[in-house]
Chains A and B, each alone.
Chain A
Amino acid sequence: SQQGEEDPQALSIQEGENATMNCSYKTSINNLQWYRQNSGRGLVHLILIRSNEREKHSGRLRVTLDTSKKSSSLLITASRAADTASYFCATARDFNKFYFGSGTKLNVKP
């Protein structure tokens, strides 16, 4: 299976704190993307990082990619209660076929 692993599986923090989630994958990739899912609903795209990039920012999000270690991290700064959701990384190698990580459930307490 090409699915990756994410850790932690669950993370509980206070509003205002930073949240860091990690993703590891198994095969070479074209890009890696992070998605958010609220309460088992559809996925919302957060950020895409290509295999030749090492770091990317979008608002309060910072993503890093280390292709030598086959890992990525997602940092959410100054978290808010509305950030409570499950976060998934997805790797793409062929024709946009995505393989999803196991996900991190983030709970931000107000």
Chain B
Amino acid sequence: SAVISQKPSRDICQRGTSLTIQCQVDSQVTMMFWYRQQPGQSLTLIATANQGSEATYESGFVIDKFPISRPNLTFSTLTVSNMSPEDSSIYLCSAGYVSGQETQYFGPGTRLLVL
């Protein structure tokens, strides 16, 4: 299994600013993902963080708004850019080892409130 930590655990930000969320895994993983969970809702996949190349974004999410980095096999960042109150959500990082068959492990999430 993988143990995942995220920083910060929560933040309150002003609209128009940007926040970078860090995700650290305690072992090398094949896949890393970023999800958003809006208040009272389910999780929506934002993008797959690819090591050494540009992230793969899901429909409705774009790189200019959610730039993602993955410099190595244990670390990724998600930036929420030019924030608005609609970006208030929990952002979760997850990691997995093998494509198609295995469990994903989730971080504790970053709770973001945009005023």
Contacts and interface: CB of A to CB of B under 8 A. Distances in A.
23 contacts: A3-B42, A3-B44, A30-B100, A35-B106, A42-B4, A43-B43, A43-B92, A43-B106, A44-B106, A45-B103, A45-B104, A94-B99, A94-B100, A96-B31, A96-B96, A96-B100, A98-B33, A99-B45, A100-B35, A100-B42, A100-B43, A100-B44, A102-B42
Interface residues of B, number: 29
**Chain B interface mostly helix, strand, loop or mixed?**
strand
A42 B111 CA distance: 11
A98 B101 contact: no
A19 interface: no
A3 B42 CA distance: 9
A41 interface: yes
Given A41-B108, A41-B109, A42-B109, A95 B100 contact: yes
Contacts of B35: 100
Interface string A25-58: 0000011010100001111110010100000000
B92 A97 contact: no
Interface of A: 3, 30-31, 33, 35, 40-45, 48, 50, 88, 90, 92, 94-103
A51 B60 CA distance: 29
B29 to A, nearest CB: 10
